[in-house]
């Protein structure tokens, strides 16, 4: 890139052509020989050392209007940007580290026809890789064209990627299109080919335990606000009843209270104490008049993989375990032989501690037996009496009832000191809520895995409103190849099932595999040509539940509330004992209209235009009617007309005679609506 220099001062004296350097020479552009190494006109570049010299690495080319990056031959190249609290756009409601914006005003410059205009393109090319397994070498190279990860220690909505398209114009509209074209095969240890290989949504599989390495000087302030606080991103000075017990740099808790799903507690680092009745800091939440301002509990740790608003439990402190939990109702635990109190593990009414039931312990993989079992710690919100504690649990719907394993097997429990993490200013410090328990250096603390997650792996909302549309499918999966795919949809388990009823686990991997609500047809099976080549529409296990159980495995049950096949519910299920099929009805015998009814309109039943002689029901084998004594059958009534049964103690064997019972005759009986009559003897 050539450089020219001129004097700032322009000479106005007429040029003397006889002078070696005159006015014209003074005003002329001065040429400097040489150039910045690697440069050319229209470029701005740096080398590897960040200097404007040497081999070009970063170039802005005004001819193409692009910025280019190059790497040395044989060496890796790349771009790294470390941004702390970035905002490339001046919008305090929406901070961005980078923003790539393209305004496609018109399709000028693109060809006529099907074209593509793309804001960001990230092409990649893989020339050499490695894929070995077994035979002495296990080595596989993973290539990822775009890797995005977040370590979310802070609380809030953590979203890895967000996609939005506002499609105001006509034409196709979607969030993404994906295509995988494969010609490869797989070796042992691969996951195969697919749109995605393994998607995992799983509660943490490791404990987060740490030793307390330091405890900085804590604030001792214990006061209340004397003004309403309006949350703000900037520091503000607020008035309190008494600001003694805190200095600049220390942390306080505003609105300390027991845990609740309506949370409004925050930790504030005090930046100044202007006088005896005010403190300064960044108060981001709104707070009312007269709320508590108390000292935060600040702990130093060697390593910190904890998260805001999770609960830390002191495993080194003496626990409270006297008595048992006898029963649970909602969020209330009722004790037997207990003397529960707010201070039983050093706490107070605003922060008693946390309780864990032994029956909720999980000791299977990836965890183990004590002391490495997974415990479910619930913060205690109140202690109404020596035999009752109330716990905090919730869901996205605000359900505050305990939903664990309960105390039917064991009522043993443990109560320990605990507190919520409110802020994580760095990876070696946690700022927690106020705790009157004494935390000490070298205490072992556990950041409890939340025992009440509310999990939905995928959730989609769809909707349309105009009646003239064609609303085909929520999801359509079409086989474009020439090979049958074994399962269109599969629910199962990986490896050995963990939901085997042992080690505190559930029994069964799935509750209801498919649920439909408010739909016209819950399940439809079509062949290629309508119904003509459709094969089996429903395949059920012949009997048992894959664990040597009963005939309940293949049952079809009609009930809006339960799947319990042992309940008195209408159901059909296999009978392995007699290699038959049980059809079970429900209701009181006197009003029963039939556990099984065959209605075929136009074929002799329930129609005035019946066609006589048609077969309604044909049995290719034996047909058996149940037996009973006369006293145990329903009283003859109009709704039982046509009902048949074998009576074993009829007083008569005459065909057509009315049966009274108490005799020694076994007859086939039928009900005419008023009496039971002998049908055959």
Nearest Cα residue to 640 out of 667, 674, 614, 664:
674
The DSSP output letter for 528 is T
* CA end-to-end distance (rounded Å), the chain: 118
pLDDT in tens, 164-221: 888 888 888 888 888 888 888 887 777 788 888 888 888 888 888 999 999 999 999 9
pTM: 0.76
User: Is residue 243 packed enough to be buried (19+ CB in 10 Å), middle (13-18) or exposed (0-12)?
Assistant: buried
Res 602 pLDDT > 50: no
Triad 608, 610, 612: Cα angle to 5°? 145
Structure token digits, residue 119: 């804001």
Calculate the alpha carbon distances from 270 to 43, 251, 253, 273, 297 in Å.
49, 6, 10, 7, 14
* The predicted structure's pLDDT at residue 247: 97
Instruction: Name the β-bridge partners of 414.
Output: 356
Residue 394 in contact with residue 400, Cβ under 8 Å? yes
Mean pLDDT of the chain: 83
At residue 589, φ and ψ (nearest 5 deg) are -55, -35
24 membership: H or E segment, kind and range = helix 23-27
Structure token digits, residue 345: 């593990």
The answer for residues whose C-beta is within 8 angstroms of residue 90's C-beta and 6 or more apart is none
Cis peptide before 371 (omega within 30 of 0): yes
Nearest Cα residue to 154 out of 478, 431, 524:
431
Task: Indicate left, alpha or beta for 235 from its phi (over 0: left) and psi (-120 to 50: alpha).
Answer: beta
Q: Which residue in this structure is represented by tokens 């608003």?
A: 309
The DSSP output letter for 26 is H
Triad 235, 238, 243: Cα angle to 5°? 115
pLDDT in tens, 629-662: 999 998 999 888 888 999 999 999 999 999 999 9
Strands 413-416 and 354-357, sheet pairing: antiparallel
Sign of CA dihedral 245, 246, 252, 254: positive
Calculate the alpha carbon distances from 472 to 431, 469, 475, 528, 602 in Å.
53, 9, 9, 18, 35
The whole-angstrom separation of Cα 218 and Cα 292 is: 17
Name the pLDDT band for 591 (thresholds 50, 70, 90): very low
The answer for residues whose C-beta is within 8 angstroms of residue 589's C-beta and 6 or more apart is 633, 634
Give me the torsion for CA of 402, 406, 411, 412, rounded to 10°.
-70
* HEC assignment per residue over 109-154: CCCCCCCCCCCCCCCCCCCCCCEECCCCCCEECCCCCCCCCCCCCC
Instruction: Name the β-bridge partners of 238.
Output: 279
User: Is residue 436 packed enough to be buried (19+ CB in 10 Å), middle (13-18) or exposed (0-12)?
Assistant: middle
More confident residue, 85 or 41: 85
Q: Where are the alpha helices (DSSP H) in 240-330?
A: none
pLDDT in tens, 217-246: 999 999 999 999 999 999 999 999 999 999
Res 280 pLDDT > 90: yes
More confident residue, 273 or 554: 273
The DSSP output letter for 27 is H
Res 531 pLDDT > 60: no
Res 383 pLDDT > 70: yes
Rounded mean pLDDT, 616-627 = 73
Structure token digits, residue 431: 């700022």
Name the pLDDT band for 54 (thresholds 50, 70, 90): low
Calculate the alpha carbon distances from 193 to 86, 148, 182, 488, 567 in Å.
38, 21, 8, 16, 45
The DSSP output letter for 638 is G
* The predicted structure's pLDDT at residue 592: 44
Task: Indicate left, alpha or beta for 50 from its phi (over 0: left) and psi (-120 to 50: alpha).
Answer: left
Nearest Cα residue to 6 out of 33, 21, 27:
27
DSSP 333-387: EEEES----TTTTS-BTTB--EEEEGGG-B-STTS-STTSSB---EEEEEEEETT
The whole-angstrom separation of Cα 381 and Cα 311 is: 13
Residue 229 in contact with residue 286, Cβ under 8 Å? yes
The whole-angstrom separation of Cα 473 and Cα 259 is: 44
The whole-angstrom separation of Cα 122 and Cα 126 is: 13
Rounded mean pLDDT, 7-30 = 84
pLDDT in tens, 352-377: 999 999 999 999 888 888 888 999 99
What's the chain's Rg over C-alpha atoms?
39
Calculate the alpha carbon distances from 586 to 282, 570, 591 in Å.
66, 6, 10
Percentage of the chain lying above the pLDDT 90 cut? 39
Complete domains list, the chain, with CATH:
219-295 (2.40.10), 627-680 (no CATH)
Helix (H, G, I), strand (E, B) or coil at 316: coil
More confident residue, 123 or 224: 224
Helix (H, G, I), strand (E, B) or coil at 543: coil
């Amino acid at each position: 890139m050539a450089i020219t220099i001129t004097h700032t001062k322009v000479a106005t004296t007429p040029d003397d052509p006889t002078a070696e350097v005159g006015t014209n020479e003074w005003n002329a552009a001065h040429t400097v020989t040489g150039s910045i190494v690697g440069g050319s006109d229209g470029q701005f570049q740096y080398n590897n050392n960040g200097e404007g010299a040497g081999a070009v690495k970063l170039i802005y080319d005004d001819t193409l209007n692009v910025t280019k990056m190059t790497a040395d031959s044989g060496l890796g190249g790349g771009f790294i940007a470390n941004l702390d609290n970035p905002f490339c756009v001046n919008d305090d409601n929406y901070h961005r580290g980078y923003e790539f914006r393209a305004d496609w005003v018109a399709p000028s410059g693109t060809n006529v026809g099907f074209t593509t205009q793309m804001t960001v393109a990230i092409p990649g090319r893989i020339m050499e890789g490695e894929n070995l397994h077994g035979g002495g070498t296990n080595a596989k190279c993973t290539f990822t064209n775009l890797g995005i990860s977040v370590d979310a220690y802070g609380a809030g909505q953590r979203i890895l990627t967000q996609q939005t398209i506002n499609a105001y114009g006509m034409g196709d509209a979607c969030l993404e299109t994906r295509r995988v074209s494969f010609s490869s095969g797989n070796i042992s240890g691969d996951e195969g080919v697919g749109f995605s290989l393994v998607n995992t949504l799983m509660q943490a599989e490791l404990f987060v335990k740490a030793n307390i390495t330091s405890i900085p000087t804590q604030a001792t302030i214990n006061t209340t606000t004397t003004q309403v606080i309006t949350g703000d991103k900037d520091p503000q000075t607020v008035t309190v009843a008494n600001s003694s017990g805190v200095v600049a740099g220390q942390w306080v808790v505003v609105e300390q209270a027991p845990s609740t799903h309506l949370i409004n507690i925050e930790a504030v680092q005090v930046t100044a104490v202007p006088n005896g009745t005010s403190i300064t800091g960044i108060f981001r939440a709104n707070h009312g008049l007269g709320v508590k301002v108390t000292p935060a509990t600040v702990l130093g740790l060697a390593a910190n993989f904890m998260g805001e608003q999770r609960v830390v439990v002191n495993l080194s402190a003496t626990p409270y375990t006297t008595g048992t939990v006898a029963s649970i109702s909602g969020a209330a635990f009722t004790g037997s032989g207990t003397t529960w109190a707010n201070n039983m593990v050093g706490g107070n009414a605003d922060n008693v501690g946390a309780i864990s039931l032994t029956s909720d312990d999980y000791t299977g993989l990836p965890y183990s037996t004590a002391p490495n079992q997974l415990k479910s710690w619930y913060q205690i919100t109140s202690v109404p009496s020596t035999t009752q504690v109330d716990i905090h649990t919730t869901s996205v719907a605000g359900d505050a009832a305990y939903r664990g394993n309960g105390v039917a097997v064991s009522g043993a429990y443990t109560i320990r000191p605990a507190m919520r993490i409110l802020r994580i200013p760095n990876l070696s410090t946690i700022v927690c809520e106020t705790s009157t328990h004494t935390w000490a250096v070298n205490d072992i603390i556990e950041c409890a895995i939340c025992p009440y997650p509310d999990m939905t792996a995928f959730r989609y909302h769809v909707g349309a409103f105009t009646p003239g549309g064609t609303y085909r499918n929520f999801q359509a999966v079409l086989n474009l190849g020439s090979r049958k795919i074994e399962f269109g949809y599969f629910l199962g388990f990986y490896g050995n099932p963990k939901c085997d009823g042992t080690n505190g686990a559930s029994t069964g991997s799935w509750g209801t595999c498919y649920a439909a609500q408010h739909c016209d047809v819950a399940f439809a099976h079509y062949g290629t040509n309508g119904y003509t080549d459709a094969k089996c529409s429903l395949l059920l296990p012949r009997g048992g539940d894959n664990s040597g159980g009963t005939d309940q495995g293949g049952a079809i049950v009609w009930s809006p509330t339960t799947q319990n096949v042992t309940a008195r519910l209408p159901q059909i299920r296999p009978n392995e004992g007699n290699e038959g099929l049980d059809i079970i009805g429900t209701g009181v015998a006197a009003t029963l209209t039939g556990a099984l009814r065959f209605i075929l309109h136009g074929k002799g039943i329930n129609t005035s235009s019946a066609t006589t002689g048609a077969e309604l029901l044909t049995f290719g084998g034996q047909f058996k009617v149940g037996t009973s004594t006369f006293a145990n059958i329903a009283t003859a009534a109009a709704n039982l007309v046509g009902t048949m049964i074998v009576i074993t103690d009829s007083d008569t064997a005459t065909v057509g005679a009315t049966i009274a019972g108490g005799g020694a005759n076994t007859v086939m009986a039928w009900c005419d609506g008023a009496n039971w009559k002998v049908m055959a003897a």
